[in-house]
Amino acid sequence: MNEPILDKGTELQGLSTAVLFPSVDLFGGRVRKAVGPLTPIVGVSLFQRTVLTLQRAGIRQLIVLSGPEEEQLKQALLRGPRVTIPVRWMPIREFPLDDPRTWESLAAEVRGFCLLSGVGTVFPRPLIEQLRSDVRAGQAIVVGPALPDGGDAVARAWRSGQGGGMADFMVMPASELNAAGRLAAEFDTMPIARWLERAAVDGRVRLLPGADDPSLWYQPVLTEGDLLQAERRLYTSLKGEFEGFVDRFFNRKLSRWCTRAFVAVGWSPNAITFLATAIGTLAAAGFAVGTYATGVAAALLFQLAAVIDCSDGEVARLTFTESPFGAWLDIALDNVVHMAIFGGIALGAYGNAAGTDHAWIPLALGAAAIAGNALSFALVNRAQNIKAASKWKTPLHAAWSGFMLRNLASRDFSVVVLLFAVFGKLEVFLWLAAVGSVAFAGVMAWIIRPGAVTTKSL
All structural domains of the chain:
15-233 (3.90.550.10), 240-452 (1.20.120.1760)
More confident residue, 453 or 54: 54
DSSP class per residue in 125-140? HHHHHHHHHH--TT-E
Q: Is 195 exposed, middle or buried (0-12, 13-18, 19+ CB in 10 A)?
A: buried
Name the pLDDT band for 243 (thresholds 50, 70, 90). Answer: low
Highest averaged pLDDT of the listed ranges 200-204, 321-325, 355-359: 321-325
State the pairing for strand pair 121-122/219-220. Answer: antiparallel
> What mean pLDDT do residues 345-365 have?
91
pLDDT at 86: 93
Q: Work out the percent of the chain whose per-residue pLDDT is above 70.
A: 86
More confident residue, 156 or 437: 437
pLDDT at 316: 93
User: Is the pLDDT confidence value at 25 over 50?
Assistant: yes
CA distance 112 to 178: 14
**Does residue 40 sit in helix, strand or coil?**
strand
pLDDT at 11: 40
Name the pLDDT band for 33 (thresholds 50, 70, 90). Answer: low
CA distance 388 to 216: 27
**Average per-residue pLDDT for the chain:** 84
Name the region of 13 (left: φ>0; alpha: ψ -120 to 50; beta: rest). beta
More confident residue, 453 or 332: 332
Q: What are the b/e assignments for 162-185, b being 16+ CB within 10 Å?
A: ebeebbbbbbbbbebbebbbebbe
Name the pLDDT band for 31 (thresholds 50, 70, 90). Answer: low
Name the pLDDT band for 153 (thresholds 50, 70, 90). Answer: low
CA distances from 317 to 139, 235, 237, 290, 320 (A): 33, 10, 10, 39, 5
pLDDT at 8: 42
pLDDT at 188: 60
pTM, to two decimals: 0.83
User: Is the pLDDT confidence value at 82 over 60?
Assistant: yes
